Amino acid sequence: EYYHGQASEVIVLTPNGAVSFGEHHPVVTIAGPCAVENEEMIVRTAQRVKAAGAKFLRGGAYKPRTSPYAFQGHGESALEMLWQARQATGLGIVTEVMDTSDIERVAEVADIVQIGARNMQNFTLLKKVGTQSKPVLLKRGLAATIDDWLMAAEYILASGNPNVILCERGIRTFDRQYTRNTLDLSAIPVLRSLTHLPIAIDPSHGTGISAFVPTMSKAAIVAGTDALVIEVHPTPAQALSDGPQSLTLEQFDYLSREMEIISQAI
């Protein structure tokens, strides 16, 4: 039923060189703010996460917000700011596409196109990102089973794009008092047993609380993740979205050093 015959890695070309995602490669860190807020903050964040060892800058231009009255992202002008950050640092860019009509424009700037949790089963969008050439980061749906998720990936693969990275970002929890979602770290060994596709973990949306992000990042490395997606903001208290789960630049520096030590040890 599943698509076979693909290599067990995804290689992404960035201005700083090729970055490989997969079991036999170093853990790749993707970091940045939930939303691109202005050019100064995105370029500064890019410089700092690069210095800490991140290979990709992630920032939202089109934001899928629960409330229509919440900040929706700066759209096209944010794509331009991401391009400036890419020029300034050579980092690869990861950013979300929500609408089929934006795919071409997003793919001009993005080195990896993100499909968000809420669109995991938007089959029209999946088929369309499957017909373009940029690798795709496919986030797990809010209440998606592993098979739902793998079949969503299958839509992209079957449309001709073999470069899909699966990103666990927490599933609906019954205990919203302490975490935003339940981060399913068991997805790592489960997926490893089912698919050749690389695996990423997003501990920021997975927990919703910045204080818990370092612990779960390190746990994900030990559990064998191929990549981490971590929200970082210069001033989380002022963030336009997801401030409570965003690390400061200093906290990300510190965590990156810890992650390096753990990666060396396993």
Q: Which of 19, 28, 34, 126 lies at the binding interface for Mn ion (CB under 5 A)?
A: 34
Binding partner of 86, given ligand PEP, Mn ion, none, CB within 5-8 angstroms per partner class: none
Whether the CB-CB separation of 182 and 171 falls below 8 Å is answered with yes
The answer to the question of residue 34 lying near ligand PEP (CB under 6 A) is yes
Token pair of 242 as six digits: 């997801």
| Min CB(265)–Mn ion separation in Å | 30
| Min CB(7)–ligand PEP separation in Å | 26
State the Rg of the chain over Cα.
Answer: 17
Choose the binding region for ligand PEP from 47-55, 103-111, 116-124, 128-136 (rule: CB under 6 A): 116-124
- Chain residues 48-107 in contact with ligand PEP, contact rule CB under 6 A: 60, 64
Separation of alpha carbons 6 and 166, rounded Å: 15
The answer to the question of residue 205 lying near ligand PEP (CB under 6 A) is yes
Separation of alpha carbons 224 and 252, rounded Å: 20
- The DSSP call for residue 26 is P
Separation of alpha carbons 251 and 213, rounded Å: 10
Separation of alpha carbons 11 and 19, rounded Å: 6
- Residue 85, helix vs strand vs coil: helix
Q: Which of 117, 187, 191, 230 lies at the binding interface for ligand PEP (CB under 6 A)?
A: 117
The answer to the question of residue 242 lying near Mn ion (CB under 5 A) is yes
Q: CB neighbours of 146 closer than 8 A, spacing ≥ 6?
A: 187, 190, 191, 194
Choose the binding region for ligand PEP from 16-24, 77-85, 111-119, 208-216 (rule: CB under 6 A): 111-119
Q: Which of 116, 130, 203, 234 lies at the binding interface for ligand PEP (CB under 6 A)?
A: 116
Interacting residues toward Mn ion by CB under 5 A: 34, 242
Interacting residues toward ligand PEP by CB under 6 A: 34, 60, 64, 116-118, 139, 169, 205
